[in-house]
Structure 1
Amino acid sequence: MKHLFLGSLRSKQTVIISIISLVLFVSVISFVLYQGTKKSVTLDANGETIEVITHAKTVEQLLQEQNIDVEEHDKISPSLNTKIVNGIAISWEQGKEVTISVDGNRSKVWTTETQVKDILKEANIEVSEYDLLAQGLDTEIGADNKIDIQKAFQVSLVDGVNKRQVWSTSTTVANFLKQQGIQLNEFEHVENYNLKDVLTPESKITIVRVEKVIDVVEESLDFAIRKEQDASLQEGKEKVVTEGQKGLRTKTYEIIKENGKVVAKKLKSKNIVKEPQNQVVAVGTKTIVHNMASTDNIASTDSIPNTASKDSIGSKSTVLLGSTEPVSGSEFYVIATAYTPYCKGCTGTSATGINLRLNPEMKAIAVDPSVIKLGSKVWVEGYGTAVAVDTGGAIKGNKIDILVQTEIQAINWGVKRVRIKVLN
């Protein structure tokens, strides 16, 4: 009995082993067959490329396997119902909503494009070379998905006597002048506009060019005639003893021209350059008496006519206002910048206690007191004679800051190397 039981046990073990071997064999074969039916796919998802091994039958199933939710505005290539074949390349670009603002008017578009120019082309929005964009056409759109455009318009520009049409966007008058490379001196202005005003398509910018000059006119002065009695000269006869000489006088005028036309002329001073020399004329008083032993002396008086000077136009010479340079003074070069009493953080009061805002006509400079003493009179090339009344944190060594009244004047001055003379 014992041998029969052992023989039966061995027989059962053999059967079990055979069954397990068969199951393993079938499993391996099934796995091999299953793996063999998978297909290799290249997937480009928003610019990131990956290789995928899949049993998906269509492009849609593959994207679902990759947890990609396809929206209405996404771009899929090939289409969702395309059958998967080995080696197929699939591209998915996710659509995004972009806000386009044109002169403040906003519109929204869906797109899969990334460059600004491609998005605008897709939205049928044309941009000219004069339009202003927050981003360049060849740049990628920012993370905020916004494009801002200011459309350019033509502005009538009258610069003195020159007229032309120019392109501009809605910017301030000050920025417009800077874009056009136009500088104003301290006397010039824009008609009917402040520099902070914003341009519109109806704007007409008229610049009044102002020139302030000194005109020196030379005039001749007539000489007077002085008559003297001459007893040796027969009565009724006259003789020029000393020839008269005309004198010379200069008149200095301050002239203001707007766009080349004189609008004001003011006499500033008169100066006698050469005094006239009187002409001396001898007048005879000698009387001849016939048949008499003596000769009566006949008294006569000198007669000096009242001669008024007549104006006559002589030669002219013209010099720019403030260009007169003092003869003497301690001379050296400095770096000169400009400031206004209205700058941000400024009180308008100088270091010496002068309210610069209440003295708009004053010419003043900020200095380093170790170089130029406060209170000194200083002639500055291109500015004129000023008083050192102020200091500044950046004004150290051979540096000065000239006082002007407006920001545009300060910008126009810039940074210059100028010659100065300390007069006291």
Structure 2
Amino acid sequence: MRIISKLLPASKWKLVISSIGVLALILFTSIVLFEATKAEVVVTDNGEQQPVKTHANTVEELLNELEIVVGEHDELSHDLSANIENNMNVEYKTAKEVTVTVDGNHYTYYTTEDTVGAFFEEQGLSFAANDDISHENSDEIINGGSITVVSAFEVIIDDGGKEKKIATTTSKVQDILTENNIKLNELDRVEPGLEQDIKEGNAITIVRVEEQEEEVVDTIAFQTETKQDHSLEKGKEKVVTDGKDGKVTKTYKVVMENGREVSRELLNEEVKEESVNKVVAVGTKEPEAGLVTLSHSNGEKVQTGGKTITMTASAFTSGCDGCSGYTATGINLQANPNAKVIAVDPSVIPLGTKVWVEGYGEAIAGDTGGSIKGNRIDVHVPSKSDAYGWGVRKVKVKILD
């Protein structure tokens, strides 16, 4: 300065000083005016607020000043061409890349949402209640993160004959039963096997198997045994000892499948009461030669050696039309209404012959009749009602003498 002051006269030096002051004042004023004319803007960058003073004319110019590059999927509160206004609030949010994998298929999304639930809503993604989603709705979205979804499918479980449909995201039979709280007993069968995988629409069949012991009281049927009895007429039988059933307790192992018996195995049997055999005496005594056994109407047995004739028998009474009450041999039937008399053809059975008539008993051939010819007889009965009751029948007639 001293050198300059020596070179310049004092008047000129004062002029230089004054010029410098003016220039400095102009510069200061310009700076103040420049700053004063800047717009005040708040820029919110991914949630962080930054007050900014700028002479930028548009939002794009402002972001360029801040070195903020807006990507294709980023979120910006204003158009890039929007004019900057004082006290403007410009919000910017960087989009995050998210990969969603659904049943092995990959899809890429970009979002500015903060949570998984908001992201699903933004993208219009919805899933069934039983689908398996790797994240909760409240989980934070992370740039470059991935969300995995396994869709539930329907299978049928036949549990002991009762069917129900369930939705699952696992394919292994054991896992499906576990997630549905289905427990198996030791003997139960499952088809397909527990380690097998199934697909949508397949069925899991559970056969509920039970084993139990059962006691049953059975009857031991008595046997019938025979023994020969030489004192009893041949062809006749007589019960000597009545039979009696016994009792046996049997223990079975019973296998039940779905409540139905499928097998029964005898484990043990114990006789509680022995049976008693029935004993029957069988006659072996031969009848005396020439004798034939006949039955009276009263049930008594008669043996005789005469011949037997099969005849047609009708009935009559002493009071029949045209009857005198006396037989051809002089028997008074009116005086003896219960007399055992038959009318015969004398050429077949001579009058006066003693006979035995099946169903009538012993009688005497004491009368004849106009219609009694050949192997035909008429038996005397006390009343017309007895005659009607007798009717006409085939009988055996035994000649007694």
Task: Using structure 2 for the length normalisation, give the TM-score.
Answer: 0.58
1:336-355 paired onto structure 2 within 5 Å? none
Q: Which runs of 5+ in 2 are unaligned?
A: 226-236, 282-401
> Residues 223 and 276 of structure 1 are in contact (CA less than 8 Å); yes or no, is this contact kept in structure 2?
no
Matched residue, 2:37: 37
Residues 262, 141 of structure 1: alpha-carbon distance in 2 compared, 3 angstrom cutoff: farther
Residues 194, 7 of structure 1: alpha-carbon distance in 2 compared, 3 angstrom cutoff: closer
Matched residue, 1:266: 265
Does the alignment pair 1:194 with 2:190? no
> Residues 222 and 276 of structure 1 are in contact (CA less than 8 Å); yes or no, is this contact kept in structure 2?
no
The structural deviation recorded for 1:127 is 0.9
1:303-347 Cα offsets, whole Å, 9 max, x none, are xxxxxxxxxxxxxxxxxxxxxxxxxxxxxxxxxxxxxxxxxxxxx
Q: Which runs of 5+ in 1 are unaligned?
A: 227-235, 284-424
Matched residue, 1:80: 80
1:13-162 paired onto structure 2 within 5 Å? 13-162=13-162
**1:159 corresponds to which letter in structure 2?**
D
Residues 258, 119 of structure 1: alpha-carbon distance in 2 compared, 3 angstrom cutoff: same
1:180-228 Cα offsets, whole Å, 9 max, x none, are 111111111221x2223333213112111112222222335578999xx
Matched residue, 1:211: 210
Residues 142, 198 of structure 1: alpha-carbon distance in 2 compared, 3 angstrom cutoff: farther
1:249-299 Cα offsets, whole Å, 9 max, x none, are 432211221112222221122234x45497999x9xxxxxxxxxxxxxxxx
SS of the equivalent of 1:109 reads: strand
Matched residue, 1:178: 178
SS of the equivalent of 1:155 reads: strand
SS of the equivalent of 1:86 reads: coil
> Residues 169 and 199 of structure 1 are in contact (CA less than 8 Å); yes or no, is this contact kept in structure 2?
no
**1:177 corresponds to which letter in structure 2?**
L
Residues 136, 221 of structure 1: alpha-carbon distance in 2 compared, 3 angstrom cutoff: same
**1:48 corresponds to which letter in structure 2?**
E
Residues 214, 52 of structure 1: alpha-carbon distance in 2 compared, 3 angstrom cutoff: farther
Does the alignment pair 1:254 with 2:253? yes
> Residues 256 and 265 of structure 1 are in contact (CA less than 8 Å); yes or no, is this contact kept in structure 2?
yes
Residues of 2 paired with 1:64 and 1:261: CA distance?
83
Residues of 1 paired with 2:143 and 2:178: CA distance?
32
Residues of 1 paired with 2:267 and 2:129: CA distance?
53
Residues 24, 124 of structure 1: alpha-carbon distance in 2 compared, 3 angstrom cutoff: same
> Residues 173 and 196 of structure 2 are in contact (CA less than 8 Å); yes or no, is this contact kept in structure 1?
yes
1:334-381 Cα offsets, whole Å, 9 max, x none, are xxxxxxxxxxxxxxxxxxxxxxxxxxxxxxxxxxxxxxxxxxxxxxxx
Matched residue, 2:330: none
SS of the equivalent of 1:22 reads: helix
SS of the equivalent of 2:139 reads: coil
SS of the equivalent of 2:60 reads: helix
Residues 79, 219 of structure 1: alpha-carbon distance in 2 compared, 3 angstrom cutoff: same
**2:264 corresponds to which letter in structure 1?**
K
Identity among equivalent pairs (%)? 34
Aligned residues: 266
Max Rg structure: 2
SS of the equivalent of 2:50 reads: strand
Task: Using structure 1 for the length normalisation, give the TM-score.
Answer: 0.55
> Residues 244 and 278 of structure 2 are in contact (CA less than 8 Å); yes or no, is this contact kept in structure 1?
no
The structural deviation recorded for 1:121 is 3.5
> Residues 94 and 112 of structure 2 are in contact (CA less than 8 Å); yes or no, is this contact kept in structure 1?
yes
Residues of 2 paired with 1:257 and 1:237: CA distance?
50
Higher relative contact order (CA 8 A, sep 6+): 1
Residues 98, 248 of structure 1: alpha-carbon distance in 2 compared, 3 angstrom cutoff: same
The structural deviation recorded for 1:73 is 1.5
SS of the equivalent of 1:100 reads: strand
SS of the equivalent of 2:64 reads: helix
The structural deviation recorded for 1:142 is 4.2
1:116-173 Cα offsets, whole Å, 9 max, x none, are 2333344343212121111123322345421211122222221111112222224321
